[in-house]
Amino acid sequence: MHHLEKEVIDPNVERGRRVQQAVEGWSQYVAPYNPPTDSSVPLPDAIVEIMTCLLDATTQESTLSHPAALPYVKRLEKNWPTIWMWIQLLYAHSTATLKKLRAISVPGRPPPTSAKQLLEKERHKHELLVRALLLFLGLESDQEASTHGLVRLVYSTQGVFEMVVTAWIEEAEDDSAVAGFPTSSVHHDSLLYTAPNFQKLLIAGCGGRSDKAADLILRRLSLNIHRTKWQKHDLRDIYRNLIQQMHFAQNAMRFRNSTVSDALRAHPGFVACFVDVMICLLSPPFSTPPTPLFGLAMVSVDLYLSAVASHIAIRQILESPFFDIISRIALVHYTPQEKAGLHIFNSSCCHILANMRQFAIYRPLLLKTGQHLPSIYQLTEKTTGNLAEGLLDLQLEAERLVETYKQYKRRPHPVFCCGNRQCILTTDETSLFRCRSCKFALYCSKECQQQDWRDNHKPLCDAMSRSDEALLPQSSPDLRWLAYLITRDMIKEPSYLPFQEDTAGRLTDILIMNYRSQERPEKTVTSLANPSKLTEVGLLPEVARDAWFRSLTPRRNAHSSGNNPETIAVLIILPSAGVKITALLTYPSLKPPDEHDVHVTWILLEYSQPKEVESESR
Residue-wise pLDDT tens digits, 414-455: 899 999 988 989 998 899 999 999 899 999 999 999 999 999
| Residue 264: per-residue pLDDT | 94
pLDDT tens, position by position, 558-591: 555 455 678 889 999 998 767 889 999 988 876 6
Q: Is 531 exposed, middle or buried (0-12, 13-18, 19+ CB in 10 A)?
A: exposed
| Residue 616: per-residue pLDDT | 36
- Give the range among 101-105, 199-203, 292-296, 398-402 with minimum mean pLDDT: 101-105
| Residue 16: per-residue pLDDT | 59
Which residues, in sequence order, are bridge partners of residue 580?
573, 606
Contact 482, 468 (CB under 8 A): no
The CA-to-CA distance between both ends of the chain, in Å, stands at 63
Q: Pick the more confident residue, 71 or 249.
A: 249
pLDDT tens, position by position, 253-284: 887 778 999 999 999 999 999 999 999 999 99
pLDDT tens, position by position, 19-63: 778 888 888 878 877 666 666 677 788 888 888 888 888 887 778
Element holding 582 (H helix, E strand): strand 579-588
Contact 166, 98 (CB under 8 A): no
Confidence of residue 596 (pLDDT cuts 50, 70, 90): confident
b/e 281-304 (16+ beta carbons within 10 angstroms → b): bbeeebeebbbbbbbbbbbbbbbb
Distance CA 205, CA 182 (A): 18
Contact 89, 36 (CB under 8 A): yes
* Mean pLDDT of the residues in the chain: 86
| Residue 538: per-residue pLDDT | 61
> Mean of the pLDDT values across residues 194-220?
96
The pTM assigned to this predicted structure is 0.87
Confidence of residue 612 (pLDDT cuts 50, 70, 90): very low
Using DSSP, how many helices (H) and how many strands (E) does the chain show? 25, 8
| Residue 533: per-residue pLDDT | 63
Q: Which residues contact 70 (CB under 8 A, 6 or more apart)?
A: 64, 144, 146, 147
Tell me the longest C-alpha to C-alpha distance in the chain. 110
Residue 204 in this model has a pLDDT that exceeds 60 = yes
